[in-house]
Structure 1
Amino acid sequence: MINGSPTISRRRFFSPSPEKAIRTLCKGKLAAYLSQDALDEIYQAFLFAEQAHRGQVRKSGEHYIHHPIEVADTLAELQMDSRTLIAALLHDVIEDTPATKSEIIKRFGEDVALLVDGVSKIGQIQFDTREQAEAENFRKMLMAMSEDVRVMIIKLADRLHNMRTLESMETTKQKRISKQTLEIYAPIAERLGLYHWARELQDLCFLYMYPKRHAAISKAIEQREGNRKLIVEKLQKSLHDTLENANLLDFSIKGRRKTVFSIYKKMIKKRRSFEELHDIYGFRIIVNSVDECYRVLGIVHNAYKPIPGRFADYVAIPKANGYQSLHTVVFGPLGDNIEVQIRTKEMDHIAEAGVAAHWIYKSDDSQSDNSNHLARQWLLDLLDPAHQTGNAVEFLEHLKTDLYPDEVYVFTPKGDIKKMPRGSTALDFAYAVHTDVGTHCTGARINRALASLPTLLNNGDSVEIITSKSSWPTTAWLNYAVTAKARTHIRNYLKQQTKEDALKLGKRLLAGATKQRLFGRRKIAAPVRQKLLEELGLENWSELLIDVGLGKRLPDMIARQIAQLSEGELEGKVLGQEALVIRGSEGLPVTYSRCCSPVPGDSIIGTFTAGHGLVVHTSDCPNIAELRKQPENCLMVEWDENLDRFFQAKLQVKLNHVTGAFAEVAMAIAENGSNINHVDLHDGSGEIRQMDFVVDVKDRVHLARIMKAIYRSGHVNKVTRHKG
């Protein structure tokens, strides 16, 4: 018979009593594989949790203690060890009751306390937003998971029971929790090999996020199953007879229908209706050895025509989480596509229980060791960004990128296999090899042919990275870096560069401001520096200069505080303000406003904007009229006389709508030593069209020459510079 998709349980677990529920669990599932001493300790954990949660009820109205019992029951299905089950019973006591971590250590040991603490949320820290709190809580769990993966297994069981009882929540919470579960927890369950849990989580999320779509597909499946039950049984018997006729004696065949969510995803991906899908059923063939896996594959392909491009060998090249199986799709005898998975008993056990299988499946087989190693290595790679960024929300966004299981397998020049997320580029591969290789990469050789860093990788590619000590990351790299590791290291490098630029600018700004306030003296006494840092709550002088350079603190305000702290507080007239010279290459803390696009030769003014540092506008820019009423936010600036770089200027060109008019304008711009960075076309009145250009210019003289050349074009009516 065909096993259906995971049952979506919406039961309310009202047992007659918590006592009866725990005794039923201990005498049933747990007694089958645990010792009496272990059962006694689990019962003591129940008593501790029941006492701690006494008086608490869930939204559904049931006693709270039923929730940890159900979590332990779910873990018992995987035959998890007794320490994990004890931690499952206690997983909410630190967060929701007066019980402390030290009490748990004293009663049940430090290992259980670490598991409970890893699952618990951070209750003592206040966050600005719910998103930030959830991200930080999740990062904490992942960090604990790197020490012991059972932390995440408990958390997944906890989330699974919460999703099963989500109907008692209000609709907005149902959708928010389902969205988070679908984006984070279901992919992690899948990557840890807990496929049954992942499928149930996905279907539950789909149910609450899109109830009408879920109902429609479920109804269509029921109608089709009524018509196809006999056909599916014939397919299974056909496979069974084919293997028996090939003298294969010891094997088993399992059938499974695709889940509602996976059918929905296939409908969206292939843009097909439910009636147009023909491969919603799959079969799993279980044999004794790896050799038999490949033999069965040959038998199946000999009996049924394989579909091109639908074969995957995860036995020779396991998935990142250690999953192993042969996957193929064949054209069945009744006209339907049949998905067939072929694996050994051990592979099937690990595929069903995921990483949890490593606690209970004892084997000396090197393949088992390799699977365990791969699962842990994936986890370490996943967590790498957690050690690199202090921003939990940013880390969580990076994490989502790496959670989804589609992968490509590429080779290093030495023949080693690297698993990368589908859509990865040569740049991602460089960072996967080593951080220094990524930082200094300039290009790649893919299958011995030169390729650029944005080149997408395909299965089987051989990739060699070309490096240079003079190469460094740029902001453009973020446009084609996909993996969390690559994006995190690039961002960290750019942030560091920003700080260095801000430090240099902060020194210049504060030096000018203190020179005015201290009657020409720039040197600040050490005691004054220390006192100022204490008042501002900063650790060192560089931190203050970076804040000034980034516009977080106004240089004139800091100079006033320095003057007040200096010996002989100054009350005299402040010297005239000295203009800051803009050299055009200060780095990120000095930016040129896009609203007025200043170029050398324009009269300019600087304004301070938090996070952007000094922003340069033209003096007549309408957007700074209000800012100019606050002198402390403005700074006199002037252009350096020896600038040698391009700036961007905006031009509005009105021209006749005739063939070749745009080409003439573009030619005029190019012939005068400029590039076109951007063009917008707007409808005008009659046959007149307006085109907005962003062009490169060196100064006002260069800009004037370009504008004259454009106006001389035969079909141009008007050309003006755009500001504001």
Structure 2
Amino acid sequence: MMRQYELVERVNRYNPTTDEALLNKAYVYAMQKHGMQTRASGDPYFSHPLEVAAILTDLRLDDATIAVALLHDTIEDTDATRTEIDTIFGEEIGKLVEGLTKISRLDLVSRRAKQAENFRKLLLAIADDVRVLLVKLADRLHNMRTLHFVKEDERRNRIAEETMEIYAPLAGRMGMQDMRSELEDLAFQILNPQAYQTITERLNALREKNAALIGDIERNLTEQLAERQITSTVRGRMKRPYSIFRKMEQKSIGFEQLSDIYGFRVLVDDVETCYSVLGIVHTRWASVPGRFKDYISTPKQNDYRSIHTTVVGPARQRVELQIRTNEMHRVAEFGIAAHALYKDGVKGGRNIARLTDESRAYAWLRQTIDMLSQGDTPEEFLENTKLELFHDQVFCFTPKGRLIALPRGATPIDFAYAVHTDIGNTTVGCKINGQLVPLITELRNGDEVEIIRSGAQKPMDDWLNIAVTGKARAAIRRALREAQREKYAALGRHILQRGFERRGLELNDPILAPVLLRFSQASVTDLMAAVGRSDIHASDVLNVIDPTHEETGEQATADRVKPTGISPEEGWFDLEGESSLKFRVPAGATKETAALPIRGLKGNLPIRFAPDGGAVPGDRIVGILTPGEGITIYPIHSASLKDFDDYDQWLDVRWDIEGDHEERFPARVAVSTVNEPGSLAEIARIISQNDGNIDNIRMIGRAHDFHEMTIDLEVWDLKHLNRIINQLRGASVVANVQRKND
């Protein structure tokens, strides 16, 4: 543990006029108040405020801030009072200690509505005095360094989550990038230990493999600049684990695809030399297009200034270069703390109140909070907040004020799943700041997002192309797999039901339970799904359950379409007048009770429609069972049916569509149209006026006077389709139109 004189010496190194009496008094007072208290690690509790003070000496902060660091837990954890601290150390220090005490009691990852008020208090405390933020960040940094001593998983994860979502981005917004990076890595190690370990191992292996690469590039670059009489400092480094993880997640790329694991900083004396170095680098090595950013001419909101470029280095390895002055580097390292450095001859440090004039980041924060603090309620505060606090995240709010941190590019789908998986699974729409918007809308900082839900909704395949967070994508995949499993299970149950009826048996779960092990299935639902996917044949299940049964030829082909060439016989339904395609059903059954009911894509079966022409309610239809894909519905007159000679694939199906259904169905028409201006517009007008929807148009033949095209439509039923075809035939620009079913 650091001794009293050692702390004073640390401050004296950058401030020869330090108030040693103040530091000594704070040291002794805090040590006495904490007494025999211990931390989770077993160390004396006083070691914690002492380490916080040491972190702040690295930032070269004033005497008052160092004293506050020593005292910051006394009001909360000891019998010290604000009045006593005011009396001994002055009102300024007492106010700062009390502000830190209030912040430490805030629950910033609360699931309750009061989180809005807590976050508001945090920002208001920070805006009141920047030293509150600096001490709090140092306090959090030391707590994260020792977080592994906390035994309770829930408490450890809560602290890490709060650090990742609130304090690390806040440090970044204040320009303290080194502190932000360390906080992120420490939190990442707790929240995702497997990913942290994997990336760390990969980095260590890469560092060992390319041990000499960083040194070679440093020397090469230094020599290039020295030849042109440029004094510089070149420092090489590898990206940190969380930075790599975040980039891999945002861009959905693997470790091997990262192009800027190696980075170098070139420090020079003035701005003009920065641009000279840039010219030398780009002349010497090829630059990577799209990887140049000039934050000197256009600084970031947190005062960060530097030139970024990526080049193909001497070993053909992409490396990122940051070119800046020494002063810019000091601000990049310490951020807002750099504005609190001591000036020669200024007793006790500089006037912290003047930071607003010198720091863009702090001035922005003060102005934002001053404007928003005028709201009467926390909800009004959140509604009007347009925070740009987080460079790599968007910070949004639920209508009740809960903070949701998401990566840039996130959509309402990501937001819904971040709130709760059930909310994500039932999302049908959203409002952003009170306005209805598409689910593909990219969220921005400060958006208030209201998710619209429906119990009938389930995740859709295209959501995977919308979601960007791993949590959302994983939940969507799970839901899609479960929905598909349920559909296959429903189909398998129907197939088995009909097989059982043919043998005079009753289908129930208890009768299937004994055969699960035989078919390597964990549950009856899994067995049903396997039958629906055609992984297991229904006849195999029936034969295991009823091994003594002998099927006749007709029974073996029951419920399947009979192939061409078989004459009509009793028990077979003629579906298509002169067609020889027949269906056999159980004795006493009718076509309606025996056929599998089809309700469309939104039903409870794995259904799709023929790719070349589709099918619509009113068509006589046939189902083709394809292993792993479910049922494909074809019109009975489709020419494609001749390609299916495995009769086990054929299923007797029928429409089960009510009159006022909400789903359209696919159909294809071939149109021969006059080649003149406006003919396509006239065809589209007719289809639109008749409530049809055009899904696709393809030109299949062109001549001087006529064009041939196919149009994929979405219609309600056969009657609707025929009305559109008849209307098209009556158009002057149409020579011929007919339905197509390839």
In structure 2, do the counterparts of structure 1 residues 655 and 133 end up closer, same or farther at CA, with 3 Å as the change threshold? closer
Secondary structure of 1:197's match?
helix
Amino acid corresponding to residue 312 of structure 1 in structure 2: K
Secondary structure of 1:55's match?
coil
1:226 pairs, out of 189, 205, 208, with 208
In structure 2, do the counterparts of structure 1 residues 37 and 662 end up closer, same or farther at CA, with 3 Å as the change threshold? same
In structure 2, do the counterparts of structure 1 residues 362 and 47 end up closer, same or farther at CA, with 3 Å as the change threshold? closer
- Partners of 1:322 and 1:370 within 8 A in 2: no
Measured after TM superposition, the shift of residue 225 of structure 1 is 1.6
Matched, 1:475 2:428: no
Q: What is the alpha-carbon distance in structure 2 between the residues aligned to residue 192 and residue 126 of structure 1?
A: 22
Corresponding residue of 1:256: 237
Measured after TM superposition, the shift of residue 139 of structure 1 is 3.0
Measured after TM superposition, the shift of residue 120 of structure 1 is 1.4
- Partners of 1:385 and 1:484 within 8 A in 2: no
Amino acid corresponding to residue 234 of structure 1 in structure 2: D
Matched, 1:320 2:307: no
2:391 pairs, out of 378, 389, 404, with 404
Amino acid corresponding to residue 82 of structure 1 in structure 2: D
Residue deviations 1:302-359 (CA, integer Å, cap 9, x gap): 1111100000000010001111000000011111011101111111111111100001
2:319 pairs, out of 328, 338, 345, with 338
- Partners of 1:254 and 1:284 within 8 A in 2: yes
In structure 2, do the counterparts of structure 1 residues 237 and 654 end up closer, same or farther at CA, with 3 Å as the change threshold? closer
Q: How does 1:388-537 map to 2 (within 5 A)?
A: 388=375, 390-391=377-378, 395=382, 402-405=389-392, 474-476=434-436, 482-485=443-446, 487=447
Taking structure 2 as the reference length, the TM-score comes to 0.53
Corresponding residue of 2:710: none
Corresponding residue of 2:169: 187
Matched, 1:688 2:655: yes
Corresponding residue of 1:450: none
Corresponding residue of 1:141: 122
Corresponding residue of 1:153: 134
In structure 2, do the counterparts of structure 1 residues 165 and 374 end up closer, same or farther at CA, with 3 Å as the change threshold? closer
Secondary structure of 2:210's match?
helix
Corresponding residue of 1:372: 359
Q: How does 1:659-698 map to 2 (within 5 A)?
A: 686-688=653-655, 690=657
Secondary structure of 1:476's match?
strand
In structure 2, do the counterparts of structure 1 residues 655 and 26 end up closer, same or farther at CA, with 3 Å as the change threshold? closer
Residue deviations 1:139-189 (CA, integer Å, cap 9, x gap): 323201112122111111011000001111122322222122111111111
Q: Select the structure of larger CA radius of gyration.
A: 2
Q: What is the alpha-carbon distance in structure 2 between the residues aligned to residue 156 and residue 189 of structure 1?
A: 7
Matched, 1:307 2:274: no
Q: What is the alpha-carbon distance in structure 2 between the residues aligned to residue 182 and residue 126 of structure 1?
A: 14
Secondary structure of 2:436's match?
helix
Corresponding residue of 2:731: none
Corresponding residue of 1:50: 31
Amino acid corresponding to residue 65 of structure 1 in structure 2: F
Residue deviations 1:392-433 (CA, integer Å, cap 9, x gap): 7994997887423479xxxxxxxxxxxxx96699xxxxxxxx
- Partners of 1:322 and 1:375 within 8 A in 2: no
In structure 2, do the counterparts of structure 1 residues 171 and 474 end up closer, same or farther at CA, with 3 Å as the change threshold? closer
Corresponding residue of 1:616: none
- Partners of 2:177 and 2:335 within 8 A in 1: yes
Higher mean C-alpha displacement, 170-179 vs 115-124: 115-124
Taking structure 1 as the reference length, the TM-score comes to 0.54
Measured after TM superposition, the shift of residue 279 of structure 1 is 2.5
Matched, 1:210 2:192: yes
Amino acid corresponding to residue 221 of structure 2 in structure 1: L
Corresponding residue of 1:599: none
Count of aligned pairs: 452
In structure 2, do the counterparts of structure 1 residues 369 and 424 end up closer, same or farther at CA, with 3 Å as the change threshold? farther
Amino acid corresponding to residue 216 of structure 2 in structure 1: K
Amino acid corresponding to residue 142 of structure 1 in structure 2: L
2:83 pairs, out of 102, 108, 125, with 102
Secondary structure of 1:306's match?
coil
Corresponding residue of 2:497: none
Q: What is the alpha-carbon distance in structure 2 between the residues aligned to residue 157 and residue 294 of structure 1?
A: 35
Q: What is the alpha-carbon distance in structure 1 between the residues aligned to residue 121 and residue 189 of structure 2?
A: 29
Corresponding residue of 2:475: none
Amino acid corresponding to residue 210 of structure 2 in structure 1: R
Measured after TM superposition, the shift of residue 654 of structure 1 is 5.6
Corresponding residue of 1:556: none
Residue deviations 1:347-397 (CA, integer Å, cap 9, x gap): 111111110000116599xxx998613442145337755654734799499
In structure 2, do the counterparts of structure 1 residues 288 and 714 end up closer, same or farther at CA, with 3 Å as the change threshold? closer
Corresponding residue of 1:78: 59
In structure 2, do the counterparts of structure 1 residues 123 and 338 end up closer, same or farther at CA, with 3 Å as the change threshold? closer
Q: What is the alpha-carbon distance in structure 2 between the residues aligned to residue 664 and residue 398 of structure 1?
A: 55
Secondary structure of 2:195's match?
helix
In structure 2, do the counterparts of structure 1 residues 182 and 369 end up closer, same or farther at CA, with 3 Å as the change threshold? closer
Identity %: 34
Aligned alpha-carbon RMSD (Å): 4.5
- Partners of 1:68 and 1:91 within 8 A in 2: yes
Higher mean C-alpha displacement, 269-278 vs 190-199: 269-278
Q: What is the alpha-carbon distance in structure 2 between the residues aligned to residue 43 and residue 112 of structure 1?
A: 15
- Partners of 1:142 and 1:383 within 8 A in 2: no
